[in-house]
Amino acid sequence: MDIQLNLAGQVSYTNGTSEEVHYVVGTDISPSDDDGMAYGGAVVMGLPDLHVVEVKRSRGRLGFPYVLGVLSSGKLPSCWRRWTS
């Protein structure tokens, strides 16, 4: 949890550009089931009304243990496969 507290101070509340933001994405993952597989998903939503633009799902093995509450501990590999497909 220390890593999340350290990273919290680096959060930017602006997009760092002069361009308007048009989309936001949310991701999540389920812990591994009995056969060692995890499920991940991503939802892209349009702003400002949060209409659903795209939904992606993924199933795969985690490369390292999933730690509940720790940023990206298990989410990133599974979600990245979907973002780049």
List the domain boundaries for the chain.
21-83
Does the pTM surpass 0.75? The reply is no
Report pLDDT digits (tens) over 26-59. Answer: 888 787 767 778 888 889 999 889 999 999 888 8
* pLDDT > 70? residue 65: no
Phi, psi of 38 (to 5 degrees): -125, 160
Q: Percentage of the chain with pLDDT > 90?
A: 13
Tokens representing residue 5 in the block: 């507290």
